Structure 1
């Protein structure tokens, strides 16, 4: 029973990660087909990430209040429906609206997944193993998305959305059998004010960075300052560090796919299938890194494993900044291999850290907090990276992602956090 539950939850997580990255390779084709400029085309990614990030806190509280199993079933069906609409879209407006609904469904589904893991697997080795499997599948989904997106785009970019529909139906069937709704639990009301601020902040930042409006950026920064206090005051401390690590993960290796995809297609002239296949080594190393996380944590401790992975990621991204113009075998491939292995470890270890000291009944809200930080950073990072990419400054974009990875290492390996993440 436990293995089947984990299989359903891992499949749903794979779907969420896949849907975030599968459009990267298809993005140039979608833009040409629907007549979208690059600044608007990046919203095919951001229209998913913005509501996903902004509404996660509500999703977490709803899962705690009404039951994660019940919310899982509703959310996965809504996700599948929105994917079908996106695949049928005849214009940019319909596509972006469907992507927004996908983000809403994901904001409900992600906390339900983490809440079910926290409730069904007790804290300790069992939960660490479950999160390792979940993390390996989720990180692999991000990497597999760009590979699969390239292959499917060779036939039609619409298949990048239609491919999700049968997976959602399978997850819904599994939920009906193995994830029967549990007893309803009461929890405090959803933090609507903070959620609205988070969503407004992300939209303002993305618009400001994309359109180059100083006024919008300034307004977004002021709004963002209102979010710093709640994040800094998060308890337990490990959840605070995990949330900040999730943001820096998405700003570093989590955004690597976007930069590499545009570089391979726009600068190097790769067709979508070739660009997708170029990501295969990265996808393989992400899976390897995720599967090794439990062993690395057991041997070296959580802080050294996570902080070390951030450092390795910074090396890989730095190599891409310096050498990507040397061609794929000598310049791009080594950077993908190094950063890919680190990517897998970071993705899994940051959730192990963030969820470790949280009671089972609050796992959904804790997971929502971390994923909010992750996708807020992802939406802003894509918009920020679009600025240098407009001028073909790929090295500058890679340096920005490398700097975020180094900041992640400093966060986790800082002296104040060392004892908090290695003891207990």
Structure 2
């Protein structure tokens, strides 16, 4: 039992505290402060400590939540969806193969417009074989969930709180993501808000629920007469979500002093007119690398879904960026750009921006300054969007760690 790590959350925090915890335990603390009614998850590396930590807070008696143990991740998403539909503020968590097992149930809270929240502690799928280490499995499937990606422990603590508000204001399920092991098991300093501040920021709201007092039909079959209209209705509803998320980021910035946005830029007026672009824990490594490589900038994607293509376009146009170096911890195996680069290429196509994608860090492989140097060197030679658009970077026994250089 993780009694000692979670002890700051065994009682009300009345003054802001500087704490040192792993990413998973920080998430558990933040979620406990939002006062969930139901917590339902199945343990899987590397997210297990998040729900383990919540079980400690519940067991200690301070958090009056129903902590439900189930037999699988499919059961977890099914139970969580039903609890949320009944009106409960509900949290779950998963990773990798657990995310795959949830797939059957993940579209339902979208269709039902339920404010369910979920942590993804990002981990590779089991291909070519079992791996418990970090890759970006969450980019490989889209079901209509909102998604926020965090760089460090402070950000993942904050994201857990913001996700609760975003989900309930948008009435769409919201996942927040941190890199498995790199953040989930990394102990870092962060500031915890008071319980009163969090509860004021995330008030529970009246919403549509199923109830014997208000009978209706949930989960029935939809015929061809209405199905397409239902999907179009969901798409129309998603059009306002980026605005809701932006408003939440701004309000949280006023509360906490930590300011977030869909896309964030660093050193974008660098003379090379070239910027790295990525998500998650790699951003801090690139910023450190840039201290000795001031000719390059960085664009950090925080909001993965819905994808903030207009905000990205405006940033690129404002700083006259000509080339983008996309770094991502996933691949598609489909002879096309991997998922993050596909989204970026779609957004930047009207601007004529040149990009190449570099697949890095799969299965927990370290991403170092060598990879950044190799990617920057490659981009110096790239003049257009012709030819191969993605490379595996950091592969053993290849020259400069990069294929075909």
What TM-score does the superposition give when structure 1 sets the normalisation length? 0.27
**Greater relative CO (CA pairs within 8 A, separation 6+):** 1
Higher strand share: 2
Instruction: Please identify the structure whose Cα radius of gyration is greater.
Output: 2
Higher helix share: 1
What TM-score does the superposition give when structure 2 sets the normalisation length? 0.28
